[in-house]
Structure 1
């Protein structure tokens, strides 16, 4: 403890479990003299202080593997501790925002493994030891370490939130611009039952804070969709073939009606048909749609068209349809 304090300074709080080598009169007296506060947590609790036990389990596994690899006696395991410790301290880990523990603690860059094999030539560097230079270097070091620690804290908070959402059953998604995704579409039937159908693929064109902007491959229309309404389809290097476009066009995409152009009576259907012009599609793709269906889907547009058409038979039939 004294060696640690003399090297790194006195921490304000000591956190440990209730083991006798932590909870005793000697350490209590030492913490009193050092003006530090002792806090005890439950042993082997992963949410409190279980990280050390978790690392020790990996250390034991590595030691067993190294003993077998180098054909050593199990009594010589103590000589392998420095190797394992150096590997743990100098290996970048995701929980530290991709940095090594030695870098987070000291601010020094982590040496590369290849540096033990290839040592490049270094030119002599003259160091300015003036007080102004030293103060500037210390300020830059403190700023760098504070920024690095903030990144580590943010990474841990994101990981904690992610674990909570996974435990609650949420499926986290992370799409990139250019990825191809499927979009869920809710179909409301006459029985008022909601059925979700996955349509697409769409291509992601923009990543927002809580949603993604996706573009339809046939119409080119873009729309903002929440991440929970999307699922992954393919990477950005997907080859969009003509067969894929035909498949997308044939899956019943939801289009917006641009206008109603004309009408006619269909004897086989015993119903009027309307020529619907779709927004985002060419005029050659206009289609004849039943009046009964269009009356349910776009009632306001149909009302306006019937009034504008000035067709007595159409008006009479439409009034009976609405009655």
Structure 2
């Protein structure tokens, strides 16, 4: 999952294949002890599943978990190596978890390192959301056999069925155009688009995949010139990296600007200024001057994170630093 303000770095996902009910266990390490404790906690509340299915990671395939399986009289099965699609049910919920976390980080305007505190709400969201594959039932309803209450139960949308059918029809037409190889670009100059972040090596899976919106300034033969609404930066981007957001009549409100500002824009480092020891993270923090920002916006960042993102710059800084930092490095 990436770094947090504490020691937590991983999420262990336990999922019931029949009902799609899942539990999310935040962990500091990915080892057999975490797996065993999670399985025993599940067993204490719901009983032991007859079969465990997992990949062949060392935290699943080991003597400790095998001994627990033997004592609980369960069958342990493993999916083939390098074949994650075979365990597609868990892979799908992993994508859902990331999407919910990204949305909540934007909505609550919190730092991405606070993700462990969101996990109870993420688990509730995943388990209480009705799925078409389950007959429009929520996983928790099928798993417990109890009715699932929702905050939306008081809302009545008389045209909801027509809107869903219209959306399905538009998606089918779009898919047919793609199959025929037709041009599916549905925006032009003056419109607003979202840009894929796939080309940025940010290394943070909790950042949203589509950022923006951007305003389309010019349409070229094979790309579009777009402008960021906050920074004013202009980018030349291929059409495959863009997605329609709104037409030219969009009212760019302060709320929209605030939403764009909280998407985690990847900044460039001007220089590393000084460092200090942090007892909270048990690591050095380096004061970073960001390119294009004011001095008051300088911030302390963990040395480990900076070393992963800009190793050459960090190595040069450490070489000129005091002996304590050099010994730690």
TM-score bin, normalised by smaller chain:
0.3 to 0.5
Which structure has the larger Rg? 1
Specify which structure has the bigger relative contact order, considering alpha-carbon pairs within 8 angstroms and separated by 6 or more residues: 2
Q: TM-score, normalised by structure 1?
A: 0.42
Higher helix share: 1
